[in-house]
């Protein structure tokens, strides 16, 4: 009888520990395969000399995963390293009284065990009211390899159809999985000429039961120009559905602020204001984005 009582007590302790553990961790409540965003915006340009200008822009981007993508609490947070094959694309249209810019790209990444094989094509079409037109395409081939579960090495071959120039980008990404579902991600990127270096870091944390924070920073250095740039950002989720965010380009004198709210698991609305103070012009940008996930 004592043995049965001890076994029953032990099982209750194990069950209690599992309940406490599950309560301490965020629940993977939602999973998706398709994520799409549609944005409308207006841009105001105030040059240092000359008259002001305005432009309207439209953007659509979407990605489809061939397996379920799990949300880590916030409905738009999916982790640092991706292990799921996907196809994606985007289209941008910007127009003012002087010119029209159309920018699009389509591509995909296929995961074969620890290997990634991908391809992408990007097109840029610029025209103005004087019948000037420039159409250019950039082709990319990608190869990646997961050295282990948390370390990715990747190469991207870029070919410019207009200039006939080519370049290879070299990148490394590493993530540290912290208690719960928190993580820190690190990235480094350069090219085969070693004339540009980029470093980024991203941190995600569940700070309490329903609130989350995302912090990120990026540093770029151009060797030939002996120039660099810093940018930082923060995203604070007051709940799984609602977030506020801000970014700051320390060296470029630009910043942005915005907010996003999910009305249900599939639909969200976001608004953003961005401002750039440059030597040649000041630029203000207003954007409204509708997001769809299922």
pTM of the model: 0.86
Identify the three-state secondary structure at position 3: helix
Q: Tell me the pLDDT tens digit for each residue of 135-168.
A: 899 999 999 999 999 999 999 999 999 899 999 9
Q: How many CA atoms lie within 13 A of 10 on its CB side?
A: 6
Distances (CA, A) of 193 to 163, 189, 215, 226: 17, 12, 31, 15
Distances (CA, A) of 73 to 88, 98, 172, 181: 23, 45, 26, 9
* Cα angle for residues 269, 274, 278 (degrees, 5° grid): 165
Give pLDDT, residue 83.
Answer: 97
pLDDT at 101 over 60: yes
Domain spans in the chain, listed from the N-terminal domain onward = 29-293
> What is the C-alpha to C-alpha distance for residues 274 and 92, in angstroms, rounded to an integer?
17
Q: For residue 124, which phi and psi values (nearest 5 degrees)?
A: -130, 125
Burial 183-202 (b: 16+ CB within 10 A, else e): bbbebebbbeeeebebebeb
* Cβ–Cβ < 8 Å for 107, 121: yes
DSSP letter (8 states) at residue 80? S
Give pLDDT, residue 164.
Answer: 92
- Residue 173's pLDDT band, with cuts at 50, 70 and 90, is very high
The CATH number of domain 29-293, selected from 3.40.50, 2.40.160, 2.60.40, 2.40.50: 2.40.160
Sorted by sequence, the CB contacts under 8 Å of residue 163 that are 6+ apart come out as none
């Amino acid at each position: 009888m004592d043995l049965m009582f001890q076994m029953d007590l032990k099982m209750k302790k194990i069950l209690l520990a599992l309940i406490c553990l599950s309560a301490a961790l965020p629940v993977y409540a939602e999973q998706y395969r398709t994520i799409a965003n549609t944005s409308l915006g207006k841009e105001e340009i105030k040059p240092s000399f000359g008259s002001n200008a305005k432009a309207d822009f439209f953007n659509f981007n979407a990605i489809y995963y061939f397996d379920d993508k799990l949300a880590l609490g916030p409905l738009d947070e999916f982790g640092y390293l991706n292990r799921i094959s996907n196809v994606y694309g985007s289209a941008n249209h910007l127009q003012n009284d002087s010119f029209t810019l159309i920018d699009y790209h389509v591509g995909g990444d296929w995961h074969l065990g620890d290997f990634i094989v991908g391809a992408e094509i990007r097109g840029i079409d610029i025209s103005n009211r004087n019948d000037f037109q420039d159409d250019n395409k950039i082709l990319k081939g990608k190869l990646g390899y997961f050295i282990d579960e948390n370390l990715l090495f990747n190469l991207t071959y870029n070919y410019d159809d207009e200039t006939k120039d080519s370049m290879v980008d070299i990148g490394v990404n590493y993530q540290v999985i912290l208690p719960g579902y928190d993580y820190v991600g690190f990235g480094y990127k350069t090219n085969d000429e070693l004339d540009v270096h980029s470093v980024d870091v991203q941190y995600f944390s569940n700070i309490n039961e329903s609130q989350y924070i995302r912090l990120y920073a990026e540093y770029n250095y151009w060797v030939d120009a002996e120039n660099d740039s810093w940018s930082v950002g923060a995203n604070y989720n007051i709940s799984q559905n609602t977030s506020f965010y801000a970014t700051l380009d320390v060296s470029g004198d630009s910043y942005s602020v915005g907010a996003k709210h999910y009305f249900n698991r599939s639909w969200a609305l976001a608004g953003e204001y961005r401002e750039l103070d440059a030597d040649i012009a000041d630029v203000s940008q207003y954007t409204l984005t509708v997001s769809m996930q299922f």
